[in-house]
Amino acid sequence: MAGDTEEFKKFNEEQRNKNIILVGMMATGKSTVGAILAEELGYELVDLDHVIVETEGRSIAEIFAEDGEHYFRSVETAVLKRMLESENKLISTGGGAVLAPGNTDLMLSKGHVVALTATEEEIIARVSGDQNRPLLAGNAEERVRRIMEDRREAYLFAHYTVDTTGLTAAEVSQYILMHYRG
Cross-strand pairs, 112: 20
Question: Interface with ligand S3P includes 118 (CB under 6 A)?
Answer: no
| DSSP per-residue string spanning 69-129 | HHHHHHHHHHHHHHHTTSSSEEEEPPTTTT-STTHHHHHHHHEEEEEEE--HHHHHHHHTT
How far apart are the C-alpha atoms of 124 and 83, rounded to whole Å?
A: 30
Cross-strand pairs, 89: 44
Binding test (CB under 6 A) with ligand S3P, winner from 90, 95, 111, 154: 95
Nearer to ligand S3P, 42 or 57 (CB): 57
Question: Among 35-43, 107-115, 129-137, 159-167, which window interacts with ligand S3P (CB under 6 A)?
Answer: 129-137
Best CA proximity match to 136, nearest among 24, 53, 22, 25: 25
Question: Among 2-10, 12-20, 115-123, 127-135, which window interacts with ligand S3P (CB under 6 A)?
Answer: 127-135
3-state secondary structure of 141: helix
Question: Interface with ligand S3P includes 26 (CB under 6 A)?
Answer: yes
Question: Interface with ligand S3P includes 49 (CB under 6 A)?
Answer: yes
Best CA proximity match to 111, nearest among 28, 41, 39: 41
Binding test (CB under 6 A) with ligand S3P, winner from 56, 134, 143, 161: 134
Question: Among 35-43, 106-114, 131-139, 174-182, which window interacts with ligand S3P (CB under 6 A)?
Answer: 131-139
- Contacting positions for ligand S3P (CB under 6 A): 26, 30, 49, 60, 94-96, 133-135
